[in-house]
Amino acid sequence: MSKKHLTFAVSLIVSCVLIVALFWNVEWEKFWQVIGTVSYPRLIPFVICGALAFPLRALRLKYLLPKSDLSFSTLHAANAVGILASVMLPFRAGEFVRPALLQKTGRISFTGALASSVTERIFDILALLVVFSIALGGRANLPELAERGVQVLVVLVSCAGLFVLLGYFKANLILKSAQTVLKFAPLGLRSKLLKLVEDFLQGLGGVGSLRALIAAILLSLVIWVLYSIKYYFGFSAFDAQAPLGTGFALSSMIGIAVAVPAAPGFVGTYQAGSVAAVSGIYGYNREIALGFAILTHVLELCVLVMVGGAEYFRSRKLNLGKNQ
C-alpha cells in the first residue's frame, strides 16, 4: 500500500471513529426534538455570511500574490474552486489546484502561487488564535487553567505577529535562525520544517508592500470574525438566547478540528469541533451540539458546492480550468 493510500485509509478511519464516538448513546428522541424546534429563518444569515467569505478570501489572495494584473473575478474563481477541491477531494488537493489554475493565466508561476498558499495558512492560524482567545476570554467563570491558556494564546499571537514582520523585513535572519534551531532535529523533520519556513518566506517576499501585508493580515482577522458571526447566527437557530461567544468558540474549535486528516468533506471532524465548542465550552447537551453540527455542515457544503461549482464552470470559460 502506497503512503497516499495509507494516509487516505487512516483519514477514513479517523472519521468513522469520531462519528461512532460522537453518536454513541445519543438520546435520539431528544435529538429529533432539537431538530424540530430549529428556527430555520435564523439560518439565512448563516448562509449569507458563508457566501460573503469567498470574495473576502479572493481579495486577500490579491494582496498575497506577487505583483500581477489578475482580475478579481479570476482570483475569485481560482480561490473558490481550490476551496471546493480541498474540502471534497482527498489529500487537500485544493492546495495544488488553486496554484495550477493561477498558473494557467500565464501571469504567475506555480511556485509563487503555492508559496502564497503557505503564507495564507500561517495568517489563518494567527487569526484563529485571536478568535480562540476571544472565545475563551469572553467566557465567564473560566477555570484557572483556562485563564492561563488565554494568556499563553495572547503571547503566541504576539510572537506570531513579530515572526511575520521579521520574516517580511529580515527573511535571511529568520531562515538562518531556523537552520540553527533545527540543526539537532531528526533529518526528515528538519527538512520538512525548513521547507515550510522557506515557502512561507517566499510567500511573504511575494507581497508587494508593507501596506499589502497589513491588509492581508487585517483581512484574515475580518474573515475569521465573519466566520464567528456566521456560526453565532447558525447556533442562534437552536438557542435564540445564545451568547455571541458561542460563535467565536465554534469557529475556533471547528477550525482546529478540520485540520485533522479525515474523510473528504470534513466528516467527523466538523462534528467533533462543534461538540467541543457547544458542549465542552458552553455546556449545552450533546443532542443540541450534534443537531447544530449536522444541519450547518450540510448547509456549508451546499454553499461551497454552489459557489465552487459555479466558479469551476465559469473558470473553464476563462480558460483556467481546462486540462486540470
pLDDT digits (tens, 9 = 90+) for 239-291: 988 888 899 999 999 998 888 877 888 888 999 999 999 988 888 989 999 99
Residue 50: band (very low, low, confident or very high) from pLDDT cuts 50, 70, 90: very high
Q: Which residue has the cell 496554484?
A: 99
Q: Which residue has the cell 502561487?
A: 113
| CB distance 185 to 193 below 8 Å | yes
**Ramachandran angles phi, psi of 33, nearest 5°:** -65, -40
| Cα 192 from Cα 217, distance rounded (Å) | 25
Residue 324: band (very low, low, confident or very high) from pLDDT cuts 50, 70, 90: very low
User: CA nearest 268: which of 61, 10, 44, 31?
Assistant: 10
| CB distance 37 to 287 below 8 Å | no
Long-range contacts of 85-88 (CB under 8 A, 24+ apart): 85/308, 87/264, 87/265, 87/266, 87/301, 87/304, 88/264, 88/265, 88/304, 88/305
| Cα 126 from Cα 123, distance rounded (Å) | 5
Whether 8 shows a pLDDT value over 80: the answer reads: no
| Cα 126 from Cα 101, distance rounded (Å) | 26
Mean pLDDT of 190-194: 82
| CB distance 79 to 130 below 8 Å | no
Whether 193 shows a pLDDT value over 60: the answer reads: yes
Whether 323 shows a pLDDT value over 50: the answer reads: no
Higher pLDDT, 67 or 26: 26
> Which region holds residue 27: left if phi is over 0, alpha if psi is between -120 and 50, else beta?
beta
Name the β-bridge partners of 267. 263
- Please state the length of the chain: 324
Instruction: Report pTM.
Output: 0.85
The answer to whether the Cα torsion of 55, 121, 251, 87 is positive or negative is positive
The chain-wide mean pLDDT, for the chain, equals 84
Strands (E), 48-94: none
Side-chain-side CA neighbours of 108 within 13 Å: the count stands at 29
Q: Which residues of 53-71 are buried (b: 16+ CB within 10 A; e: fewer)?
A: bbeebbbbbbbbbbebebe
Higher pLDDT, 121 or 299: 299
Mean pLDDT of 11-31: 88
Task: Quote the cell numbers at residue 88.
Answer: 471534497
Higher pLDDT, 209 or 92: 209
Tally of CB atoms within 10 A around 144:
7
3-state DSSP assignment of residue 1: coil
The per-residue pLDDT for 321 is 47
3-state DSSP assignment of residue 63: helix
| Cα 65 from Cα 253, distance rounded (Å) | 29
Lowest average pLDDT, out of 1-15, 38-52, 162-176, goes to 1-15
The per-residue pLDDT for 142 is 58
